C-alpha cells in the first residue's frame, strides 16, 4: 500500500449508518432500530417538507440517536413505550458526540430526543422550544418501539397509530402526530420497516446527506464508537483505545508510514465493533467461558468484518481490524485464515489485542506483569498462533506500550 493512498472521503451519514448497525443488536439479535427510526424520520420530513438544510442533521442524528446506550439492559428499558429514565442516555449521547466537532450539531438533537411536548423534562424544555429534529426522532423512535411485533405489520398498524394519537399534545407534538396520521396510511412505510429491502430503501430515501468526512474526522468518529464499545463493560474501559495506540506504535516500529499508522489506529479503535452484539454477562463472566458462551463470542469479529465491509475505502482497515482472532496456524476464528493470508497489519493487531487484554484487569484477575505477558506470548509464538517478529518488536518497546496503557495520548490522533 503506498503512503499517498488516502482513505477516500466518505459521507458522514454512510459512515454512521454502517457503524451504528453494531448498536442495533439487542437480546433478540439485529433489530435495525437506528435504521428504522431514520426511515420513519424520512417519511415525516418529506411530508412536512422539512428545510433541506436540516435534513443531514436529522438523518445523521436519527441513525446514531441512542449512542448513549451500549448495554442490552439499557436497550431493553428503552423498548418500553413509556421509558423510565431516558434522560441518562440522552445526556450520555450528548456528552459523547460533543467531543467531535463534526458531530456536535447532532449532540444537541440527541440531548432532547425523548423530551415530551407537554414539558416535565429534565432538559427544562417543552413544546416548540424542543428542536424540531428531536421532536421528529422522538415520534419516529416510539413508533418503531411499538412496531416490534410478530405477524403482518399491516394487521396491527392501526393499534400503533391509535397509541400515538392518544399521546398527541402530551408526549408528542400534535402537528407531527397529524403528519404521522397522513403518512401512516401509506402501506409502503410499514412495509419498508419490515422489508428485507430496507437497506436499499434507506439509501434511496436518505441521499441528501452530502457532509463529507476527512481522514481526521473518521478518526474522531471511530473514537466515539470505541467509547461506545468500551462502555459496554467496566472491564473493557479504554480497551479499544489501548489496542489502537499499541497497534500504531508497533506499526511505526515495523516501518509503517505515518498514514498507515493512522489507518492502523482506526482499525484498532473499531476492531471489537462486533462486541456490541454480545450480552454483557458473557463479556463480564468471572471465569472461563463454556463452549456455548465461546461460540457467542466468536460472532464479534465476523460482525466487525461485515460492518466494515460496508464502508468504501475501508478494505485494508477491515482486514487489520477483523482478523485479530485469526492465527498463523489456521486455528483462529472466524475465517480460519493462515499465515499466508495474514498481512503484517493483521498480525500486529492480533499482538496488540493480546497485549492489551493481558495487561488490563479482567473480572477474574488483575492485569499481568511483564514476565507473565512475555511467557504467554512466547508460548503463542511457539505454537504458531502469533508472529514472533511482532512480539519481538513489542518486547523491544515494552516500556512505551506500558506508558500507553497508563493513558498517554498519541499526538497525531487528537
Which residue's CB is nearer to Fe ion, number 11 or number 272? 272
Choose among 245, 242, 250, 222: nearest CA to 347: 250
Size of the site for Fe ion (CB under 5 A): 3
Among the listed ranges 127-135, 141-149, 200-208, 330-338, the one in contact with Fe ion (CB under 5 A) is: 141-149
Site for Fe ion in 233-272 (CB under 5 A): 272
For 129, which DSSP code? G
- Using CA atoms, how far residue 203 sits from 143, 206, 208, in Å, is 21, 6, 10
Cell digits of residue 105: 450539531
Closest approach of Fe ion to the CB of residue 38, in Å: 11
Query: Contact letters (x/-) for Fe ion, 267-306, by CB under 5 A?
Result: -----x----------------------------------
Choose among 221, 288, 268, 263: nearest CA to 64: 221
**Residue 141 in contact with Fe ion, rule: CB under 5 A:** yes
**Residue 230 in contact with Fe ion, rule: CB under 5 A:** no
Which residue's CB is nearer to Fe ion, number 173 or number 272? 272
Among the listed ranges 59-67, 210-218, 229-237, 337-345, the one in contact with Fe ion (CB under 5 A) is: 59-67
Closest approach of Fe ion to the CB of residue 103, in Å: 16
Helix axes 187-194, 33-47, angle to 10 degrees: 160
Residue 319 belongs to what H/E stretch?
helix 315-322
**Residue 66 in contact with Fe ion, rule: CB under 5 A:** yes
**Residue 326 in contact with Fe ion, rule: CB under 5 A:** no
Cα–Cα distance, 98 to 101 (Å, whole number): 7
Cα–Cα distance, 354 to 81 (Å, whole number): 42
Cell digits of residue 157: 398498524
Cell digits of residue 359: 495487561
**Residue 115 in contact with Fe ion, rule: CB under 5 A:** no
Among the listed ranges 62-70, 95-103, 256-264, 329-337, the one in contact with Fe ion (CB under 5 A) is: 62-70
Closest approach of Fe ion to the CB of residue 214, in Å: 28
Cα–Cα distance, 55 to 244 (Å, whole number): 33
Site for Fe ion in 390-409 (CB under 5 A): none
- Using CA atoms, how far residue 20 sits from 50, 95, 226, 236, in Å, is 24, 17, 12, 19
Choose among 19, 17, 39: nearest CA to 140: 39
Which residue's CB is nearer to Fe ion, number 322 or number 368? 322
Closest approach of Fe ion to the CB of residue 412, in Å: 25
Which residue's CB is nearer to Fe ion, number 66 or number 326? 66
Residues of this chain that interact with Fe ion (CB under 5 A) are 66, 141, 272
Amino acid at each position: 500500500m503506498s503512503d499517498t493512498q488516502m482513505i477516500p472521503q466518505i459521507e458522514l451519514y454512510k459512515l454512521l449508518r454502517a457503524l451504528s448497525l453494531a448498536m442495533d443488536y439487542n437480546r433478540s439479535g439485529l433489530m435495525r432500530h437506528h435504521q428504522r427510526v431514520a426511515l420513519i424520520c424520512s417519511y415525516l420530513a418529506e411530508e412536512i417538507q422539512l428545510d433541506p438544510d436540516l435534513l443531514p442533521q436529522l438523518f445523521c442524528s436519527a441513525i446514531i440517536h441512542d449512542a448513549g446506550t451500549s448495554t442490552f439492559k439499557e436497550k431493553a428499558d428503552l423498548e418500553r413505550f413509556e421509558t423510565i429514565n431516558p434522560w441518562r442516555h440522552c445526556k450520555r449521547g450528548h456528552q459523547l458526540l460533543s467531543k467531535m466537532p463534526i458531530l456536535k450539531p447532532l449532540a444537541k438533537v440527541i440531548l432532547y430526543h425523548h423530551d415530551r411536548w407537554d414539558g416535565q423534562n429534565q432538559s427544562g424544555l417543552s413544546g416548540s422550544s424542543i428542536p424540531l429534529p428531536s421532536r421528529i426522532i422522538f415520534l419516529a423512535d416510539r413508533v418503531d418501539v411499538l412496531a416490534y411485533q410478530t405477524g403482518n405489520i399491516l394487521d396491527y398498524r392501526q393499534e400503533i397509530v391509535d397509541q400515538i394519537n392518544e399521546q398527541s399534545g402530551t408526549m408528542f407534538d400534535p402537528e407531527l402526530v397529524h403528519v404521522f396520521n397522513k403518512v401512516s396510511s401509506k402501506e409502503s412505510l410499514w412495509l419498508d420497516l419490515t422489508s428485507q429491502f430496507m437497506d436499499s430503501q434507506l439509501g434511496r430515501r436518505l441521499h441528501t446527506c452530502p457532509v463529507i468526512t476527512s481522514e481526521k474526522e473518521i478518526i474522531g468518529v471511530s473514537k466515539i464508537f470505541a467509547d461506545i464499545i468500551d462502555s459496554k463493560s467496566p472491564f473493557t474501559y479504554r480497551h479499544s483505545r489501548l489496542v489502537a495506540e499499541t497497534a500504531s506504535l508497533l506499526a511505526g516500529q515495523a516501518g509503517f508510514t505515518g498514514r498507515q499508522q493512522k489507518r492502523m489506529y482506526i482499525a484498532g479503535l473499531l476492531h471489537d465493533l462486533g462486541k456490541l452484539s454480545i450480552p454483557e454477562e458473557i463479556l463480564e463472566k468471572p471465569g472461563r467461558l463454556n463452549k456455548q458462551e465461546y461460540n457467542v463470542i466468536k460472532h464479534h469479529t465476523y460482525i466487525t468484518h461485515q460492518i466494515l465491509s460496508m464502508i468504501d475505502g475501508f478494505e485494508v482497515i477491515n482486514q487489520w481490524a477483523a482478523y485479530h482472532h485469526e492465527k498463523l496456524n489456521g486455528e483462529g476464528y472466524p475465517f480460519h485464515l493462515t499465515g499466508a493470508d495474514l498481512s503484517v497489519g493483521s498480525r500486529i493487531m492480533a499482538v496488540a489485542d493480546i497485549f492489551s487484554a493481558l495487561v488490563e484487569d479482567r473480572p477474574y484477575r488483575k492485569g499481568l506483569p511483564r514476565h507473565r505477558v512475555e511467557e504467554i506470548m512466547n508460548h503463542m509464538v511457539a505454537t504458531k498462533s502469533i508472529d514472533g517478529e511482532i512480539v519481538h518488536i513489542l518486547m523491544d518497546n515494552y516500556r512505551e506500550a506500558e506508558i500507553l496503557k497508563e493513558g498517554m495520548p498519541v499526538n497525531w490522533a487528537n
